Amino acid sequence: MVKADKKTDKKIKVGILGVRGYTGAETLKILLKHRKIESLKLFSTEEEGKVQDIIPSLRKYEIIEKVEKFSEEKVDGLDVVFLCTEQNKAHKIVAKLVELGIKTLVIDLSPDFRFKNKEEYKRIYGFEHAVPNLLDKTAYGLPELYREEVKEAEIIANPGCYPTASILALAPLLKYAKEKKIKVLDVIIDAKSGVTGAGRKALHHLTLGYLSENLKVYAWVEHRHVPEIKEKIQDLFGESPEILFSAQLIPAKRGILETIWVKLDQEPEDDLIRYYEDFTKENFFFDFWYEEFPDIYSTTGTNFIRVGMRKSKNYAILVSVIDNLIKGASGQAVQNMNIKFGFKENEGLELQPYFL
């Protein structure tokens, strides 16, 4: 459901930190066509200069003239800033903003605010959180399930790409199981991702020579997104099923496809379909394909998640696909911004898919 814009005249001032990275560049691309943006400021922690020099694909576009060297003082006066940074940076920036008394809304695309428990950051990411007192004021920015929390948040933590594809695909099924008092025994997630999910790291297994015509399992059950998936499923549905997860790199730039097997303690009834039909009616960017399984190409360049489902005895088999850089990152971040400021949820996100 796309809600009407009640504040048609409102426009906001926006900043993006990390514009040279994949998620920063995608966020910029989306916001350049967003009709509610009054002004855009671009920041980098490493360099400053003309946008066209830092992002060569923007040569001859008449947009923002420069990328500024970032400092927290420059955030003052902005309505919202998108932090498109690596882990262990955003929480330190927020700590400085608090120290300076700057109340700009932060939408963090890194993992620095995704957990409520401060101990999880040390256990999973290896750092002590700088502002643990703000974790309770942070909304987990999965809009389809945390829409009301996003509206009230001081900080919005954009979810990981794998959790987005997993949790949204599972949500109608978990709601069904909870209401029918059916036990969810196991969840097996076989996830495949394009290489942009790893960012711009110069790693051997991300090179064309290695990955072309190749596949690589790079994480098993220890992947750092698994605790995120478990925590949110417990939070939303009171369930704590066993989750087995594997992540694989595929020879593609972008996109995620997850095949998810869910074992129940009894065969699911036909009315499970209705839960998916209701969810797709309530959420514009959730697209249920019934028994047809979508492919990555059906979402490339869009903010949609597309999900197909089949049943076999006491199993439900789901295929979930997203563009990891849009619904898995920048598009979802803008979707959260739209909700927070009362804009139409799909404002700026009416993106056309890529075609051959």
pLDDT-derived band at 163, boundaries 50, 70, 90: very high
pLDDT at 3 over 90: no
Average pLDDT over residues 47-56: 77
pLDDT at 102: 97
pTM of structure:
0.93
SS (H, E, C) the chain: CCCCCCCCCCCEEEEEECCCCHHHHHHHHHHCCCCCEEEEEEEECCCCEEHHHHCHHHCCCCCCCEEEECCHHHHCCCCEEEECCCCCCHHHHHHHHHHHCCCCEEEECCCCCCCCCCHHHHHHHCCCCCCHHHHHHEEECCHHHHHHHHHHCCEEECCCHHHHHHHHHHHHHHHHHHHHCCCEEEEEEEEEECHHHHCCCCCHHHCHHHHCCCCEEEECCCCCHHHHHHHHHHHHHCCCCEEEEEEEECCCCCCEEEEEEEEECCCCCCCHHHHHHHHHHHCCCEEECCCCCCCHHHCCCCCCEEEEEEEECCEEEEEEEECCCHHHHHHHHHHHHHHHCCCCCCCCCCCCCCCC
Distance CA 261, CA 315 (A): 7
In this structure, of 201-210, 276-285, 308-317, the range with the lowest mean pLDDT score is: 201-210
Percent of the chain with pLDDT over 70: 92
Average pLDDT over residues 150-164: 96
Distance CA 124, CA 114 (A): 12
Average pLDDT over residues 150-176: 97
pLDDT at 242 over 50: yes
pLDDT at 217: 83
pLDDT at 70: 95
pLDDT at 253: 85
Distance CA 280, CA 331 (A): 18
pLDDT-derived band at 2, boundaries 50, 70, 90: low
pLDDT at 211: 64
Taking CA atoms, 281 is separated from 1, 146, 241, 305, 319, in Å, by 6, 17, 27, 13, 19
Identify which of 79, 1, 7, 85 has the alpha carbon closest to the alpha carbon of residue 43: 85
Average pLDDT over residues 6-13: 76
pLDDT at 238 over 50: yes
Distance CA 108, CA 88 (A): 11
pLDDT-derived band at 240, boundaries 50, 70, 90: confident
- Could you count the other beta carbons within 10 Å of the beta carbon of residue 292? 11
pLDDT at 199 over 90: no
Domains, the chain, ordered by start = 12-159+327-340 (3.40.50.720), 162-323 (3.30.360.10)
pLDDT at 76 over 90: yes
Average pLDDT over residues 191-219: 71
Q: To 10 degrees, the CA torsion angle through 226, 229, 232, 237? A: -120
pLDDT at 4: 47
**Hey, which residues are catalytic here?**
161
What are the structure tokens assigned to 311, written together? 């049943």
For 166, what's the count of Cα atoms within 13 Å in the CB-facing half-sphere? 29
Average pLDDT of the chain is 91
pLDDT at 198: 59
pLDDT at 9 over 80: no
Q: Pick the more confident residue, 8 or 37.
A: 37
pLDDT at 112: 97
pLDDT at 203 over 70: no
